[in-house]
Amino acid sequence: MKIYADTYYHIYNRGNNKDLIFFEDENYRYFLNQFKKFVAPFCDVYAYCLMPNHFHFFLRVNDEPLFEKGIKNFFISYAKAINKKYNRVGSLFQGRYKVSEITSESYFTRIITYIHQNPVVAGLVKNMEDYKYSSYAAYLSNKETLINKQGVLDWFGGLDGFIDDHKIPAEEREIEKYLKI
């Protein structure tokens, strides 16, 4: 799919053969640091979640050519570092990253909660705020973050609306009709 500036996207991928892409806590931190370095300057980030064998980002691209170059360098740098550290060879990711354009208001709302609910649905935590590698906790905190919090909180009518909407069980959201997984 062609990427365009000023457009919202759900970007995701998983490990080759559905294998892990994160092997220890340090990997998650390195992945996010590389994302900040190579990709974040060219987009607005609204949500993310890093799972042991896959990841999700919801973002708006601001500069298409620099975003495309940055995301390519991001994935190459991460895969090379992991392969070197763990004596791996071959592809870390299952092909090129996947991308779905966010084309409606309902998809905008659903994709944010879908991304944040991933760790709960997978049984990794009972509460979204307890998962370290998701943007959900950033919305509850006053700490500096790469997330465009205010835009999302305004969308949900404030922090209370954001929290309430995230309480709707994932299976009631019908997100599958939007996803191309």
For position 169, what pLDDT does the model report? 79
Say yes or no: 23 and 106 in one domain: no
Structural domain span for residue 153: 102-177
* Each residue's pLDDT tens digit, 4-30: 999 999 999 999 999 999 999 999 999
Say yes or no: 82 and 143 in one domain: no
For position 171, what pLDDT does the model report? 67
What value does the mean pLDDT of the chain take?
92
Taking residues 36-43, what's their average pLDDT? 97
For position 172, what pLDDT does the model report? 62
End residue of a domain, out of 75, 99, 123: 99
Q: Could you identify the residue written with the tokens 């340090």?
A: 26
For position 181, what pLDDT does the model report? 43
For position 178, what pLDDT does the model report? 46
pLDDT at 175 over 60: no
List the end-to-end C-alpha distance of the chain, in Å, as a whole number. 14
pLDDT at 173 over 60: no
How many helices (H) and strands (E) are present in the chain, helices listed first? Answer: 6, 4
Residue 58, domain CATH: 3.30.70.1290
Q: CA nearest 55: which of 90, 13, 4, 26?
A: 13
Q: How far apart are CA 16 and CA 29, in angstroms?
A: 20
* Each residue's pLDDT tens digit, 114-146: 999 999 999 999 999 999 999 999 999 999 899
End residue of a domain, out of 70, 99, 128: 99
End residue of a domain, out of 99, 126, 150: 99
Say yes or no: 129 and 163 in one domain: yes
- What is the token pair recorded at 83? 């392969």
The CB density around residue 121, as the number of other CB atoms within 10 Å, is 12
Q: CA nearest 120: which of 173, 179, 180?
A: 173
* The model's pTM: 0.91
Share of the chain above pLDDT 70, in %: 93
CB 93 within 8 A of CB 15: yes
For position 174, what pLDDT does the model report? 55
Say yes or no: 106 and 80 in one domain: no
Q: How far apart are CA 64 and CA 42, in angstroms?
A: 8
pLDDT at 180 over 80: no
